[in-house]
């Protein structure tokens, strides 16, 4: 049994997340965690809300709540939605936790002692109308790289280029919209990333199995232009981790907080510490290589816009501390999911959001479409026509139809117990061999985190059962050879039990229904032949209700119109 640490990029606290956010990190991370648990491995799956910085302050200001109360409320809402989508976190933490505060200040102290932090006097945008400095996301303007007119002061979400607020063209306050801005001098701490460039480059070069998307973005920031630059890690904000060296004050940094992109990745560790405090576990065995983490495989999931921070900034923090912390082994990054010819956007309220989705249909409908269309090799586009087709053909016509036909036919002819009947023939042995090959291919794709290919293999396994059922035609066989028909149905019922196990990473709620209906607690099918005879004659089952309702043209058109504009 191997040990796997899995983290998903932290969703910002500022509102409900859309489907693009979901498929860009949390959902594929959950898929992988469920798969590994199903194979018998020990898994620690960690995520948290990213609660510091500008997004939280701006969102709280809009609702009129104190920012701490806003974050508490939104963490509860995001937790409920995560549960609704079946995200099986071992812990869903908060970056504002005491554990993360302590760890962030600890790392800052270690980095300073190592000579990797320097104090810089810099010019920063000040809003006369707002009466305050405007750090990063408090400033919007036109990106100097791609011309996107709604770029933020830390990064352009259109081209992913990291920016400084003073880089923006025609800047304006994100608080008031005022253009009455001026540049004033202030002091901040900078992480000396440039001093770690060679070490980071050597580490990234050693990761020959990483996705091209991940390494290409990392190397772009390492080598393009002037190469890896030092990065400010403090901000003039009220909400965040106070700037300290461990438990000591940091002279000259009074009233400042650490930059959200410095403390947010540290929350992966902090959230595991939160889990340990709540559950009584040992978090260090997952994170400290001197405490047992040397045998842990650590995988991160994230959208491509998060890659620079996880391949550069966070590793600089970990390595630069000089302590034996666990570094990531594999980074699975994703392109963007677009929506009907445009972009999903939390800030602009475009697209289908997680709460909307669960109001429309059960989670497994969305999980299947999103994962089977995951934006791995390039951007993917959500359209209602494609969603309807995938739900109707894959879920209703293939998986749902097979389960319905087998269980209802058995009930009508043999009752609600697995029938006995004849022994397998050539057709059954050929089916078992074909399924074995597909299961091994499915495992290989899941091991490599090739999500779309894994979904295609799973669907192919469902199709094999349908093709067998259609060719065997037990409803016709029953008239001439009831024993053979009983055997065909027995195999069909065992296929349902197998489908429940294999489908659980993609469709956990449906898999649970199938397990309950088949009265089965089967483990992962290392031996497919054994799995296809696991339910013996006389084993009781129940006929499940219809697994998937088809999406009608009227529903498709209604939803397309309903979600065509800005979220209300």
Instruction: Cite the annotated binding site for ATP by residue number.
Output: 346
**Binding-site residues for Zn(2+), please?**
143, 146, 156, 159
**Sign of the C-alpha dihedral, residues 430, 501, 328, 264?**
positive
Query: Which residues, in sequence order, are bridge partners of residue 117?
Result: 191
Q: Within the chain, what is the greatest distance between any pair of CA atoms?
A: 91
* DSSP line for 259-300: -HHHHHHHHHHHHHHHHHHHH---THHHHBTTTTGGGEEEEE
**Binding-site residues, please?**
143, 146, 156, 159, 346
- Residue 119's H or E segment, with its range, is strand 117-127
Residue 561: C-alpha distances to residues 17, 19, 383, 556 (Å):
20, 17, 12, 9
CA dihedral 58, 62, 64, 65 (to 10 degrees): -50
CA dihedral 132, 135, 139, 143 (to 10 degrees): 150
Q: Which two tokens stand for residue 451?
A: 């999500």
Dist. CA 284–CA 269, nearest whole Å: 9
Specify whether the CB–CB gap between 371 and 38 falls below 8 A: no
Specify whether the CB–CB gap between 64 and 25 falls below 8 A: no
83 Cβ neighbours under 8 A, 6+ residues apart: none
Closest by Cα among 456, 345, 390, 389 to 24: 345
Dist. CA 377–CA 375, nearest whole Å: 6
Burial environment of residue 560 by CB neighbours within 10 A (0 to 12, 13 to 18, 19 or more): middle
CA dihedral 443, 446, 450, 453 (to 10 degrees): 50
Closest by Cα among 167, 67, 116, 107 to 287: 107
Q: Which two tokens stand for residue 45?
A: 């799956």
């Amino acid at each position: 049994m191997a040990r796997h640490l899995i983290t998903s990029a932290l969703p910002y606290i500022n509102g409900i997340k859309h489907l693009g956010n979901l498929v860009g990190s949390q959902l594929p991370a959950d898929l992988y965690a469920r798969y590994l648990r199903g194979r018998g491995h020990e898994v620690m799956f960690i995520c948290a809300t990213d609660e510091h910085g500008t997004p939280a302050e701006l969102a709280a200001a809009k609702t009129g709540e104190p920012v701490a109360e806003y974050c508490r409320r939104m963490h509860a809402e995001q937790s409920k939605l995560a549960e609704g989508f079946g995200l099986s976190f071992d812990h869903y933490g908060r970056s504002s936790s005491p554990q993360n505060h302590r760890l962030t200040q600890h790392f800052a102290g270690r980095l300073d002692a190592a000579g990797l932090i320097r104090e810089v006097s810099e010019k920063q945008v000040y809003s006369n109308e707002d009466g305050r400095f405007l750090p990063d996301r408090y400033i919007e303007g036109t990106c100097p790289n791609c011309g996107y007119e709604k770029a933020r002061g830390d990064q352009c979400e259109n081209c992913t280029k990291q920016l400084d607020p003073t880089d923006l063209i025609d800047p304006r306050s994100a608080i008031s919209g005022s253009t009455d801005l001026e540049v004033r001098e202030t002091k901040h701490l900078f992480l000396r990333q440039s001093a770690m460039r060679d070490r980071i480059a050597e580490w990234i070069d050693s990761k020959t199995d990483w996705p091209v998307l991940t390494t290409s973005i990392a190397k772009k920031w390492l080598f393009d232009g002037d190469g890896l630059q030092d990065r400010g890690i403090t901000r003039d904000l009220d909400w965040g981790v106070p700037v300290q060296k461990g438990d000591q004050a940091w002279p000259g940094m009074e009233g400042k907080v650490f930059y959200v992109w410095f403390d947010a990745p540290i929350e992966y560790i902090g959230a595991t510490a939160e889990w340990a405090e709540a559950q009584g576990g040992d978090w260090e065995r997952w994170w400290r290589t001197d405490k047992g983490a040397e045998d842990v495989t650590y995988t991160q999931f994230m959208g491509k816009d998060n890659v620079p921070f996880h391949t550069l900034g966070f590793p600089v923090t970990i390595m630069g501390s000089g302590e034996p912390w666990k570094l990531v082994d594999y980074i699975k990054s994703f392109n963007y999911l677009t929506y009907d010819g445009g972009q999903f956007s939390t800030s602009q309220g475009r697209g289908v959001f997680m709460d909307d989705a669960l109001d429309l249909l059960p989670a497994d409908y969305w999980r299947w479409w999103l994962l089977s269309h995951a934006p791995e090799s390039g951007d993917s586009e959500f359209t209602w026509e494609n969603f309807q087709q995938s739900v109707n053909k894959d879920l209703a016509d293939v998986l749902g139809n097979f389960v319905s036909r087998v269980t209802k036919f058995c009930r009508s002819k043999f009752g609600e117990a697995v029938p006995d009947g004849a022994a397998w023939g050539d057709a059954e042995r050929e089916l078992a061999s074909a399924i074995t090959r597909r299961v091994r291919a499915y495992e290989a794709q899941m091991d490599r985190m090739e999500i779309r290919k894994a979904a295609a293999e799973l669907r192919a396994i469902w199709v094999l059962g349908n093709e067998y059922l259609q060719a065997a035609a037990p409803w016709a066989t029953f008239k001439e050879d009831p024993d053979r028909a009983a055997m065909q149905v027995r195999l069909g019922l065992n296929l349902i039990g197998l489908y429940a196990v294999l489908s659980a990473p993609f469709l956990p709620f449906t898999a649970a229904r199938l397990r309950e209906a088949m009265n089965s607690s089967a483990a992962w099918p290392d031996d497919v032949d054994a799995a296809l005879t696991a339910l013996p004659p006389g084993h009781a089952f129940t006929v499940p209700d219809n697994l998937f309702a088809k999406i009608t043209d009227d529903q498709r058109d209604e939803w397309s119109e309903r979600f065509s504009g800005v979220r209300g």
